[in-house]
Structure 1
Amino acid sequence: MIELVRPTVDLADSWWAMVDDFGDETMHGSSYRPGDRDVLRDPEAFEEWVDWLGRMERPDEALPEGRVPSSNRWIVRDGRVVGTIAVRHGLTPSLLVEGGHIGYAVAPGSRRQGVAGEALGLALALAASRGIDPVLVTCDAENTASTRTIRSRGGMLEDERDGVLRHWVRTGAPAQPIGAGPVETRQARLVPITGPEAVAMRAGERRADWAEGYPREDDLDAVGMMRGDPDAWSPRHVVRRSDGLAVGSIGCFGPPEDGVVEIGYGLVPEARSRGLMTDVLSAMVRSLEAAGLSVVAHTEPGNVPSHRVLARLGFTRVEETGSGTSGEPGAEWLWARDVRG
């Protein structure tokens, strides 16, 4: 039986036996490097390190630069540590390219026995309980065994970057039905824009909690459609948790029609390419779907980053709509989500 166990000094002997099995190999998802051995062999240092691994799960824990809150677990089979796995609660620019949300490693003596697949499945459930959906899982392009494991758990390949395959896996994390209040995401709060804020945005005012470049023209177009008090369908500030700044907006193009609602979104340039929009759009879409709605979106054909975000979340392009300024077809692409995936 495979379990994911919080690091504990009670498994110290089994941990070190696993470390010896790895030898000089990198233990992904462990926060351990071979050079740590001399220090951590001291029982007091080992206990302090194990305690720190547990504290990394707390959102208020001060972490070194480049680290994100993480749920660190040891893969245990029949009472013996056979691997390590970590569920990272967010993505840095570096993790977005290599590392992803989940890093894991199985000791050489326990490979090709289904351990990695079971452990990854449990880690995906842990990610879902944390509200993370979808999850990015990466592996070296030459690691065919890891590639098979990821794809067996629903991984969809987005691309290869510098020899690293980047897969997205949907976890089915639960969500509250959309309402007039904020939507909480892992990296942001989606806060309905008030009437006075909309007036200030259209008047060109600048506020201390608005990032440079916010509001964008698209944000102004969104608030221009507001009528009366904010409701579930109104535009929302994307307020980044890391610094409290509004860095973009997301919302619906009016109330649903026949159970379908269209969503629009965007971020200021400095907030892009960090996984924020995937996190934000995922939470918003799941809240809309929890209210029994189907979600669609339109994009321009050349907006490749938006295409990638939508594809990660299970949207597929269903048709071309509209026409350009010269009447050419296909000025917009319509995307819809397959909620069965």
Structure 2
Amino acid sequence: MILFGGAAVLIALVGTRMAGLADTLADRTGFGEALVGSVLLGAGTSIAGIVTSASTAASGAPDLAVSNAMGGIAAQTMFLAVADVAYRKVNLEHAAASPVNLGQSTVLIILMVLPIMAWVSPPFAILGVNPLTPVLVMVYLVGLHNAHRIKQRPMWLPRKTDATRDEDDDECDDRRPLALLFAIFGGMVAVVGLCGYVVGTAGLELSGRLGISQGVVGALGTAIVTSLPELVTTIAAVRKGALQLAVGGIIGGNMFDALFIAASDVAYREGSIYNAMSERSVFWISLSILMTGILLLGLLRRERQGPGGIGWESVLLIGLWLGGAALQISLG
């Protein structure tokens, strides 16, 4: 329990610094907040989760590995609603309009549907790896290429309002060499990844000692702890006014989280992990797809104000996650 809590604190502290550094890199490289958020910040803050899923899959705990991945996506999508609460000027999805984030959300839904298709298909693996695993990786890479193309030559542009935040609204004062900035970011990723291994090991131990199912520990324990970087970086980015970085970081992190299943399939040596998933894991995948669809609709609709100064999509995201968590806890 002490290791679990200590790793959680360290993940949160390091994650706080990653948002500011990612914003600087977005400005200095010229790639823009949405793209840097979805690739660099999204993957960097997700490293703890992929280490947790892969290590627990290698230990023969497929349910914990998959529920950690999909529970993380659900929690991180809900974190975006929390960030909407923190941004009091206008609905976050209204202000952070970006065609890149729309494209990434669509790719994310595709990445989450594929494992369900593998789950209902007959068991099949080559050297212990399901053929869908390399497909997931290819879809992710094509999604990143597509995001770059959208950034370079968008065919859809959001309507400008007085509350819309552009990526170029802020100037960067950090003149340190880019190589140094990337090295510092890489060091932070390494620390977060080490903490992810500790969290995975501690999560398995807690599941055994407390008699709690791996699905609950994964979706509501290790998933939330390994998702803390996304929470703190999203709040930090919103406070800095880097709104597209905040949204892009969550969506990009969720895309990377979808690859946790691919990594877990390679690490799991008892066959295809897709066919070893329980209905509890499939529930979290389905909930994550539903929440992503609602987020995508919110990004398209761009409601200016909703209940409590946030968008209706944020209310639904928080309610769905709380409802899903309560249901899974009640099932034990």
TM-score range, shorter chain: under 0.3
TM-score w.r.t. structure 1 length?
Answer: 0.23
Specify which structure has the higher proportion of strand: 1
Which protein is bigger by CA-based radius of gyration? 1
